[in-house]
Amino acid sequence: MVKARLPRKSSLEQTNRACKFKATENSRVLDKSVLNVLSKLEKHKETYTKTAKALLAPKPFFMPKAKLSIVFAALFLSACSQTFEPTSNAAKNPIPKATQELLLKKGMRISAPIFIRIYKKESELEIWKQKDDGLFYPFKSYPICNWSGKLGPKLKQGDKQAPEGFYRVSRGQMNPNSKFHLSFNLGYPNQYDRSLNRTGANLMVHGDCKSAGCYAMTDALVEEIYAIAREAFDGGQKSFDVHAYPFRMTTKNMEKHRRSRWIKFWRVLKTGYDEFEQTRIPPVVRVCERRYHVNPAFANVNFQINPAGPCPGSPGFRPMRRTPKLTIAGQEPKRDPIQEVLRDTTDDRAERDRGFDQLSLPDDLFSEDLGGSSLRNGVY
């Protein structure tokens, strides 16, 4: 008995059905992938909500290709000082037992203030600890695993130069969730750098032994350094100084590099180096006339100094105006644009500078370690 055969559907119809099914499955996979990413970014939900909604919206969404690439970088990459999903409690680890014993042996308190000096050529990071007599003494030297660029200061975003100069680190610049294990922001650009229109952001001391503008340590060493700094903050230190030098500023080394284009700048840095060598107290550094001044006569003035203007006591000097306090209940004071541009913002820079156009992307996406050349300045 011959069985009747059902008529076959055309190959074109089968192909159409297969394509529709595949498109539906791909759409589901894409939606699932995006939702997975969003769940991982719960910590940064407010930052990315607007961008994510725009990407998932059914209506047409127009964005220049350059900006769109930045959006995806925000979702899938992280910067020198940022990560989306902490993987350990490294920031809470105690100071290693051997290091605690060394502190005890040298008569130093765990919570005593610290001072850090960095030497590029020697690839060393020194930690100094204050004793009860108020002076700082050498505690320990750590090898720097990697730093990028060459001898000389950082000039602009994207030059891959590790900075040189006098910087200050507050608790707010410590990052326990760094993509590079742990990190702290050096505070570049400081008043001096900004007075010379130098650009860049988020230059760190961090782990992972990789650098494109930062000072990179091994994870184990950055954990120890981080823990020592954390204990100093817990002990009451508001901020600690970091002096980054091209090399140990000895007379012999200065003579060796006397023909460098940066010799005048290094001579200024040497005044800070020599002052500390003599006094064992980190010097007070002020900026005016677009240069550093170490322990100047006007170190303790109670008014702000324009970093790009004349120094106190010089012809033409005028104190910068301070933003007045509230004069009428509930009324905000007028903002001084000059003060806003020139004041030192090492403590709150990461918060105040957050954003890019209307996307509110984190400032640290454009860190040197992501190769963020001119993105921070809106040049694509």
Domains of the chain by range and CATH? 90-257+333-377 (2.40.440.10)
Name the CA radius of gyration of the chain, rounded: 27
29: exposed, middle or buried (Cβ count in 10 Å: 0-12, 13-18, 19+):
exposed
Q: How many Å apart are CA 346 and CA 173, to the nearest integer?
A: 8
User: For 260-271, how does the pLDDT look when each residue is reduced to its tens digit (9 = 90+)?
Assistant: 999 999 999 999
Supply the pLDDT for residue 315.
86
Phi, psi of 275 (to 5 degrees): -60, -45
32, pLDDT greater than 60: no
Q: How many Å apart are CA 146 and CA 211, to the nearest integer?
A: 6
Contact 206, 230 (CB under 8 A): no
40, pLDDT greater than 80: no
User: For 193-250, how does the pLDDT look when each residue is reduced to its tens digit (9 = 90+)?
Assistant: 999 999 999 999 999 999 889 999 999 999 999 999 999 999 999 999 999 999 999 9
Longest CA pairwise span in the chain (Å): 117
Q: Which residues are identified as catalytic? A: 206, 214
User: For 306-318, how does the pLDDT look when each residue is reduced to its tens digit (9 = 90+)?
Assistant: 999 999 988 888 8
Contact 145, 162 (CB under 8 A): no
- For residue 141, the SS3 value is strand
Confirm whether pTM is higher than 0.75.
Answer: no
Which residue would you say has higher pLDDT here, 242 or 84? 242
Q: How many Å apart are CA 298 and CA 317, to the nearest integer?
A: 12
Which residue would you say has higher pLDDT here, 77 or 49? 49
Instruction: For residue 160, give the H/E element and its range.
Output: none
Supply the pLDDT for residue 336.
55
Strands 114-119 and 239-245, bridge-based pairing: parallel
Supply the pLDDT for residue 318.
82
